Amino acid sequence: MWWISMTLASEVDFSAVEYLERYSGEPSIAEVQQWASEAALADPDRLERLLAQSRWFAALPAVKVEGRLASGWQRDWEYLAKDGDLNSPDDDTFDALTDVGADADRGLSLGLSWDLDRLVLSSERIRVLDQVYDAIRLRDQVVTRATKAYFERRRLQAEIDLGGPWTPELALEHQLQLEQWTAEIDQLTGGKFSGSW
């Protein structure tokens, strides 16, 4: 059956590949898939960077900085007799400041600590891995939807271009479906599809 259809196609001198060349001004499926992946914030380069960063997160030490500032005063007093000679407790005396001192204690300490078991597999890395796998699943869903919409749109374009005599209602329905597929691709690519041609 396939051989017969090929023979018929060659008899009418129709090449599907050549026919589809007429749409070469539009973005390719590879571009649409890349844009959809980027719009979902799940393009492979971004996810790889996120994984690489999470590998080294636990290698960073916990930093503790401590400062200390203390000051003190020292005063010594001496009791002297007013007449210059202190002989008895009943002598008339006065206080004299004999020594004054000030001291200051300043310090800064820096502490670094590593939790080495987190280098193997930390809870943060597990959380990042879960997020990356969720992003990959989302990306696959978005790219699958974009791929389907792209080829449904292309099929409808060819049907419109090759179609026979249609009623105005059917022509309008086909045009609206074409715009619907275009809008879906735009939504999945963040508007880059229509904005590229």
Measured distance CA(115)–CA(119) in Å, rounded: 7
- At 90 the pLDDT is 66
Bridge partners of residue 149, in order along the sequence: none
Residue-wise pLDDT for 69-125, tens only, equals: 777 767 666 666 666 666 666 666 656 666 666 677 788 888 887 776 666 666 777
Give the span between the Cα atoms of 73 and 120, in whole angstroms: 53
Nearest to 20 by CA among 12, 28, 10: 28
Please tell me the predicted confidence (pLDDT) of residue 148: 97
**Residue 85, SS3 per DSSP:** coil
Q: Where are the domains of the chain?
A: 15-59+118-196, 62-113
In this prediction, residues 14-33 reach a mean pLDDT of 87
Longest dimension (CA), the chain: 142
- b/e string for 116-151 if b means 16 or more Cβ within 10 A? eeeeeebeebeebeeebeebeeebeebbeebbebbe
* Contact (CB, 8 A) for 54 and 128: yes
pTM value is 0.56
Q: Does the pLDDT at position 167 exceed 70?
A: yes
Question: Can you tell me the distance from the alpha carbon of 27 to that of 112, in angstroms, rounded to the nearest whole number?
Answer: 53
Paired residues of 70 in beta bridges: 105
pLDDT tens figures, 124-165: 777 877 888 888 888 899 999 999 999 999 999 988 888 767
Residue 85: phi, psi to the nearest 5? -135, 120
| Burial classification of residue 90, based on how many CB atoms lie within 10 Å of its CB (0-12 exposed, 13-18 middle, 19 or more buried) | exposed
Averaged over 29-33, what is the pLDDT? 95
